[in-house]
Amino acid sequence: VTMRTTLTVDLGERSYPICIGAGILPGLGARVGEIDCGPRSAVVTDPNVAALYGSSVMSSLEDARLAPTVIELPEGEEHKDLQSVAFLYDRFLDARLERRCPVIALGGGVVGDVAGFAAATFLRGVPFIQVPTTLLAQVDSSVGGKTGVNHPAGKNLIGAFYQPRLVWADVRTLRTLPRRQVLAGVAEIIKYAVILSPDLFDLLEREMDRVLALDDDLLTGIVRLCCELKAMVVSKDERESGYRSILNFGHTVGHAIEKLTDYREYLHGEAIAIGMVLAARLSSVRGHCTQEVEDRVTRLIRQAGLPVEIPAELVGQHLALAIGSDKKVSADRVRFVCVEEIGRTCFDNLTGEEILRYVEEICR
Amino acid sequence: VTMRTTLTVDLGERSYPICIGAGILPGLGARVGEIDCGPRSAVVTDPNVAALYGSSVMSSLEDARLAPTVIELPEGEEHKDLQSVAFLYDRFLDARLERRCPVIALGGGVVGDVAGFAAATFLRGVPFIQVPTTLLAQVDSSVGGKTGVNHPAGKNLIGAFYQPRLVWADVRTLRTLPRRQVLAGVAEIIKYAVILSPDLFDLLEREMDRVLALDDDLLTGIVRLCCELKAMVVSKDERESGYRSILNFGHTVGHAIEKLTDYREYLHGEAIAIGMVLAARLSSVRGHCTQEVEDRVTRLIRQAGLPVEIPAELVGQHLALAIGSDKKVSADRVRFVCVEEIGRTCFDNLTGEEILRYVEEICR
DSSP 8-class letter at B122? B
Residue B133 identity (one-letter amino acid)? T
Task: State yes or no: pLDDT of B327 exceeds 50.
Answer: no
Task: State yes or no: pLDDT of B33 exceeds 60.
Answer: yes
- pLDDT band per the 50, 70, 90 thresholds, residue A330: very low
Q: How many CB atoms lie within 10 A of CB B93?
A: 17
Residue B233 identity (one-letter amino acid)? V
Q: How many CB atoms lie within 10 A of CB B232?
A: 13
Q: Do A161 and B122 touch (CB under 8 A)?
A: no
pLDDT score of A77: 83
Q: Do B121 and A159 touch (CB under 8 A)?
A: yes
Q: Is A241 exposed, middle or buried (0-12, 13-18, 19+ CB in 10 A)?
A: exposed
Task: State yes or no: pLDDT of B329 exceeds 60.
Answer: no
In DSSP notation, A126-137 reads: --EEEEE-SHHI
Task: State yes or no: pLDDT of B346 exceeds 80.
Answer: yes
- pLDDT band per the 50, 70, 90 thresholds, residue B321: low
Catalytic residue among B14, B151, B244, B328: B244
Task: State yes or no: pLDDT of B265 exceeds 60.
Answer: yes
Residues 6+ apart with CB under 8 A from A230: A139, A140, A142, A143, A144, A192, A247
Decide if A330 contacts A216 (C-beta within 8 A): no
Q: How many CB atoms lie within 10 A of CB A237?
A: 14
State what percent of residues in chain A have pLDDT above 90.
72
pLDDT by residue (tens digit) across A125-157? 999 999 999 999 999 888 889 999 999 988 889
Decide if A166 contacts A19 (C-beta within 8 A): yes
- pLDDT band per the 50, 70, 90 thresholds, residue B364: low
Task: State yes or no: pLDDT of B313 exceeds 90.
Answer: no
Residue A154: strand, helix, or coil: strand
ipTM score for this prediction:
0.85
Decide if B337 contacts B246 (C-beta within 8 A): yes
pLDDT score of B317: 65
CA distance B94 to chain A (A): 10
pLDDT by residue (tens digit) across B186-236? 999 999 999 999 999 999 999 999 999 999 999 999 999 999 999 999 888
Check residues A288 and B252 and name the one with the higher pLDDT: A288
- pLDDT band per the 50, 70, 90 thresholds, residue A326: low
pLDDT by residue (tens digit) across B268-289? 899 999 999 999 999 999 999 9
Cα→Cα distances A122→A110, A320, B84, B243, Å:
18, 37, 17, 21
pLDDT score of A336: 87
Q: Is A332 exposed, middle or buried (0-12, 13-18, 19+ CB in 10 A)?
A: exposed
Cα→Cα distances B76→B42, B248, B266, Å:
20, 22, 12
Task: State yes or no: pLDDT of A323 exceeds 80.
Answer: no
Cα→Cα distances B4→A265, B18, B32, B53, Å:
58, 10, 16, 19
Query: What b-and-e string marks burial along A265-280, b requiring 16 or more CB atoms within 10 Å of the CB?
Result: ebbbbbbbbbbbbbbb
Residue B109 identity (one-letter amino acid)? G
Task: State yes or no: pLDDT of B63 exceeds 80.
Answer: yes
Strand pairing partners for B226?
Answer: none
pLDDT score of B326: 53
Average pLDDT over residues A113-119: 98
H helix runs in chain A, sequence order: 28-33, 47-49, 55-63, 82-94, 109-121, 135-136, 179-196, 198-212, 216-236, 251-260, 268-285, 291-303, 317-324, 352-363
- Reported as half-sphere exposure (CB side, CA atoms, 13 A), residue B37 has a value of 31
How far out from the chain centre does Cα B113 lie? 9
| Angle between helix A251-260 and A352-363 (nearest 10) | 80
CA distance A50 to chain B (A): 27
Average pLDDT over residues A337-342: 96
Average pLDDT over residues B122-146: 94
Query: How do B146-151 and B154-161 pair as beta strands?
Result: antiparallel
- pLDDT band per the 50, 70, 90 thresholds, residue A27: very high
pLDDT by residue (tens digit) across B71-106? 999 998 889 999 999 999 999 999 999 999 999 999
Q: Which residues of A fall below an 8 Å CB-CB distance to B?
A: 39, 82, 86, 89, 93, 98-100, 117, 120-125, 146, 148, 151, 153, 156-161, 239-240, 327, 329-331
Q: What is the pTM of this model?
A: 0.87
In DSSP notation, A91-143 reads: HHHHTT--TT--EEEEESHHHHHHHHHHHHHBTT---EEEEE-SHHIIIIITS
- pLDDT band per the 50, 70, 90 thresholds, residue B167: very high
Chain A residue numbers touching B161 (CB-CB < 8 A): 124-125
Task: State yes or no: pLDDT of A71 exceeds 60.
Answer: yes
Task: State yes or no: pLDDT of A39 exceeds 60.
Answer: yes
Average pLDDT over residues A186-204: 97
Find the range with the poorest average confidence among B7-16, B180-189, B338-347.
B7-16
CA distance A325 to chain B (A): 9
Chain A residue numbers touching B150 (CB-CB < 8 A): none
Give the residue numbers of A marked as catalytic: 124, 146, 188, 230, 240, 244, 248, 251, 255, 268
In DSSP notation, A183-234 reads: HHHHHHHHHHHHHH-HHHHHHHHHHHHHHHTT-HHHHHHHHHHHHHHHHHHH
Average pLDDT value over all residues in chain A: 91
| Residue B124 annotated in active site | yes
- Reported as half-sphere exposure (CB side, CA atoms, 13 A), residue B43 has a value of 27
Question: Taking chain B, what is the end-to-end CA distance rounded to the nearest angstrom?
Answer: 54
pLDDT score of A244: 85
Find the range with the poorest average confidence among A16-20, A280-284, A323-327, A334-338.
A323-327
Shortest CA distance to B279 belongs to which of B159, B190, B170, B168?
Answer: B190
- Rounded Cα gap, residues B56 and B68, in angstroms: 12
